Amino acid sequence: MIRTFVAVDIPAAFHAKISAIQSKFIGPGLRPVDPSIVHITMKFLGDVDEAQLPGIITALDRMDCPSFDSRISGVGAFPGMKNPRVVWLGADGEYSCLHGQLESLLSETGFKKEPRKFIPHATLARITYLSNPRKKELISAIDSLRDLDVGLMRVNTVKLKKSTLTPQGPIYETLHEVDLP
């Protein structure tokens, strides 16, 4: 079985900015994501049998969404600021076409459609445990970054990725790329 997901990579030009953003709130109780692997997950597929990969790749190759510009801006938290579990960086752009087609095409290969509303974002850190004072510090830091503008990126590729979990963090490998017109 291979742990897989479909994603849009954040360009290397943004990695230093992401690191600087993380430095404003990283501390005890948070596990930061390595800036070099920060991405926008379009669909998490989970553990799939290698025999499923050709069908997934065929489905991805049928995507016909145009490329678009995406504004990377704003820091927030899921599920919300009262009880944050994940700190994220926002992404605005025409992600609805990509997400809709991925859900439709991959449902034809047996993957369930995601019932939750899709919110394009890049995970910056996962929260393991926060004391109340630390939670207040984090909420204040996130709030101060709410309107931060990281920059504009071109979304012209969608990637099928393999994720190998290690004690040092995940290792991602691109299995297939789809270029958007």
Residues catalogued as catalytic: 39, 121
Quote the tokens at residue 7.
Answer: 């994603």
DSSP element (H, E) containing 135: helix 132-144
Measured between alpha carbons, how far is 21 from 73 in angstroms, rounded to an integer?
11
Which residues are 174's β-sheet partners? 161
What letter does residue 80 receive in the DSSP assignment? -
Measured between alpha carbons, how far is 14 from 10 in angstroms, rounded to an integer?
7
